[in-house]
Amino acid sequence: MLRFFKKIGLFFVSLYIWTVLFDMAFIILITGLFLLFVSNARVVFRTVRAMLRFMFKIMFVKVEVEYPKDFDFDQSYIIMPNHITFWDIPVICSVLPNYTFGIEAESHFSWPIYGFFIKKYGTLPINRKNILASFRTFETAAKNMKEKRASLLVFPEGHRSDDGKIQEFKKIPFKMAQIVKVPILPCGTSGLGALAPKGFFITPGRVKVKYGAPVPVSEYESLRPEVAAKMVRDKVIALSEDDIVPDNEK
């Protein structure tokens, strides 16, 4: 009987959190669009980051962030986190260290309202099936990072993990890094699997985003992309407090 009432309680908690998420997503999107017309992307970035932090507070989700000692908040980085759930994106975006844009699948740009917003914000479309087009996107990213003094958020696994374990990192983001020539910032997340396993139910609690020491260009530019990918993947594993190592690697 106790388990039944706990399940009922969790249902209503989850319903509340999903309601907050969708309501806040709409408010953030509309606010961001308005600011893009009257201000600039940096203002939008800071506003959205603050609104995401507020959203997690009213969801009773405690988001902690840790930066390495003597971290340079003015430096542009390619930020590379692990990708466990859908919640990775809003959690990480709530604690990004500085103005950041991203790369998203080409198909996202055709979505109503959202597609218009990300295009106007400066998000770049990528066609994962066309290598040549992908490299053009990376060249544009390199140009934008230098001109706008911006960081770039990339999920090097390519898509979310099915089982909560870290996947192999794709080579393409590291080929891109060698074009862009800025430090890579490894990032490990913890607690997201417990917060929101697949399905409807969500358990509020603590999640953590931990940034590691930036990997300087000199440390990866001469490496083969697959070697650089493994090096950064190992750093991300070390930053996460969860058990994200696949069983076949233990």
> Nearest-CA neighbor of 96 among 46, 145, 36?
46
Beta carbons within 8 Å of 6's beta carbon, 6+ residues apart:
none
pLDDT band at 198 (very low <50, low <70, confident <90, very high): confident
For residue 123, give the DSSP letter.
P
List of residues 6+ apart from 31 with CB closer than 8 A? 47, 48, 51
Q: What is the mean pLDDT of the chain?
A: 91
Question: β-strands 100-105, 124-126: how paired?
Answer: parallel
Query: At residue 45, does pLDDT exceed 90?
Result: yes
Quick one: pLDDT at residue 138? Answer: 82
Question: Residue 28: pLDDT above 90?
Answer: yes
pLDDT of residue 127: 81
Tokens 């996202």 locate to 108
- Checking if the pLDDT of 204 tops 90, the result is yes
Is a pLDDT exceeding 80 seen at residue 197? no
Mean per-residue pLDDT, 145-166: 88
Q: Percent of the chain having pLDDT more than 90?
A: 67
Q: Where are the alpha helices (DSSP H) in 198-247?
A: 217-220, 225-239
Nearest to 171 by CA among 103, 246, 227: 227
Contact 55, 31 (CB under 8 A): no
Instruction: State whether residue 141 is helix, strand or coil.
Output: helix
Domains of the chain and CATH, by start: 63-249 (3.40.1130.10)
Q: Give burial (CB, 10 Å; 0-12/13-18/19+) of 113.
A: exposed
